[in-house]
């Protein structure tokens, strides 16, 4: 007879995700994970496997949540407003009193992707997904008249995807708000070029 599971798996995964997102993979210890999740070592290993398995599950949970959030933001009308709102979230993080964790996918593009194939595949998938979502939004913006741009929707989306990590890194480096706002406005101006 198996023992009753005395913890909420989804909540434990959420707590692990927050810890990995804040500290990164390497700086997060098993002891940190046990404290954050409230799990015993045996429960953690039995439910999630080792640290790396838990990290990948937490990273996937993060990615699923962000994809849903991005879809919601980018579906706003007019389409240009959706794109603006999607990028505005980055700047809001920069202006927060307390340090924000940035984008976990961008963090992992730097920390783990260079030497971990599973993480690299996930990060590449995130960039491709973002490009696809932005392309669709830009196409919709061309129809509703809110987005101009000389480049094709896919080309504009690629530029926006490339700008995304740059803005994220500037936030993490605590660049001044004026410089971030200027960079943000330059990126958005691509949607207005005729």
In the predicted structure, residue 1 carries a pLDDT above the cut 70: no
Q: What is the pLDDT of residue 138?
A: 97
pLDDT per residue as tens digits for the range 113-156? 999 999 999 999 999 999 999 999 999 999 999 999 789 999 99
Confidence at 78, pLDDT banded by 50, 70, 90: very high
Q: Rounded CA gap, 43 and 18, in Å?
A: 19
The total number of residues written for the chain in this structure: 194
Q: Which of 4-8, 40-44, 96-100, 173-177 has the highest mean pLDDT?
A: 40-44
State how far the Cα of 160 lies from the Cα of 89, in Å rounded to an integer. Answer: 14
Token match 């879809």: residue?
Answer: 71
- Say yes or no to pLDDT of 11 above 50: yes
Mean pLDDT of the chain: 90
Measured at the CA of 179, the angle between CA 178 and CA 185, to 5 degrees, comes to: 90
Cα gap 102→42, rounded to integer Å: 32
- What would the pLDDT profile of 151-186 be if each residue is shown by its tens digit? 999 999 999 999 999 988 888 888 888 988 899 999
CB 126 within 8 A of CB 105: yes
pLDDT of amino acid 157: 96
The four Cα atoms 70, 14, 17, 157 give a dihedral, to 10 degrees, of -10
Identify the burial level of 141 via C-beta atoms within 10 angstroms of its C-beta, where 0-12 means exposed, 13-18 middle and 19 or more buried: buried
């Amino acid at each position: 007879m198996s023992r009753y599971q005395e913890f909420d798996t989804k909540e434990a995964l959420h707590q692990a995700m927050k810890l990995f997102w804040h500290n990164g993979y390497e700086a997060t210890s098993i002891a940190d994970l046990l404290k954050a999740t409230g799990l015993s070592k045996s429960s953690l290993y039995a439910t999630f496997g080792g640290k790396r398995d838990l990290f990948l599950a937490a990273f996937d949970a993060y990615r699923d949540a962000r994809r849903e959030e991005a879809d919601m933001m980018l579906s706003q009308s007019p389409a240009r407003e959706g794109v603006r709102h999607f990028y505005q979230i980055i700047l809001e993080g920069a202006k927060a009193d307390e340090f924000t964790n940035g984008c976990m996918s961008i963090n992992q593009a730097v920390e783990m992707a260079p030497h971990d194939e599973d993480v690299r595949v996930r990060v590449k998938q995130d960039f491709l997904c973002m490009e696809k979502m932005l392309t669709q939004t830009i196409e919709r913006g061309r129809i509703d008249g809110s987005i101009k741009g000389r480049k094709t929707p896919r080309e504009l989306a690629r530029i926006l995807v490339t700008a995304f990590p740059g803005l994220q890194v500037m936030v993490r480096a605590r660049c001044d708000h004026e410089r971030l706002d200027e960079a943000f406005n330059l990126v958005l101006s691509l949607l207005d070029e005729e």
